[in-house]
Amino acid sequence: MTKDENCGKFTADGENELENDMNESAENTLFRVMHKLICSVQTYDWGKPGSRSTVAALVKEGHHANYVDDNKPYAEFWMGVHKNGPAKIEQTSEDLLNCIKNHPEMVGKHEQGTLQFLFKVLSVEKALSIQSHPTKKLLDSNEAIAKQTLKKIFTKVWASSPEAIAKAVQAFVARIKKDPKNKLDELILRLDSAYPGGDVGVFAPLLLNYFTLKPGQATFLGPNQPHAYLSGGSCLIC
């Protein structure tokens, strides 16, 4: 920068240079601080209605949407870069993934220019379908899948005809209704009530571990492990 010795002020060229330097500094600073995100919401039918949903409360308090419908299910609140619901930087309205690509210093090198996880909040009104999150290694190894006993059982049962499944579920539920003995029996009856007509998911508690988390507790589910969330006011998942 140059300085006018007569008046003690920066010249026009100097002012431009100073302004550019300040803009660059402001831009660099912008991506070294925390940013408010506008996050995505999923309204799956198993979610709690807006009047009772933690997800809806987050949407409302954080102004992530213009309106919350008290009767609409608000199931999942997503904070991440998933293509089906990427978060946006509130200040710039830019997709978080694009922002990270343009400013890789925002995340650690181990994230490889993106986010390797999706942070969620769930509000579960009724049981979800059985799901798992396979790794690429498992996807590429059909032999590894075939050797898993649990996978074989699930495949055998879930591949049965709808008529055979409905008949088996109805007989199974009828037997339990006569003399429910424990929480597992109660869960099976609850699943049948939520998904009447012989849903194959009623058999799932016989094949999986059933447990309840208290507030503040956590559990770890590794890749390739089948699981399902059954109910809960709010659940944080990463």
pLDDT in the model for residue 145: 53
Residue range 9-30: mean pLDDT, rounded:
42
Percent of the chain, pLDDT > 90? 34
The answer to which of 44-48, 87-91, 143-147, 197-201 has the lowest mean pLDDT is: 143-147
CATH of domain 37-124: 2.60.120.10
pLDDT, tens only, 172-218? 999 999 998 899 999 999 999 999 989 999 998 988 888 888 888 98
Domain range annotation of the chain: 37-124, 145-211
Indicate the residue type of 143.
Answer: E
0.85 surpassed by pTM: no
**Residues 238 and 117: beta-carbon distance below 8 Å:** yes
| The pLDDT of residue 43 is above 90 | yes
pLDDT in the model for residue 134: 65
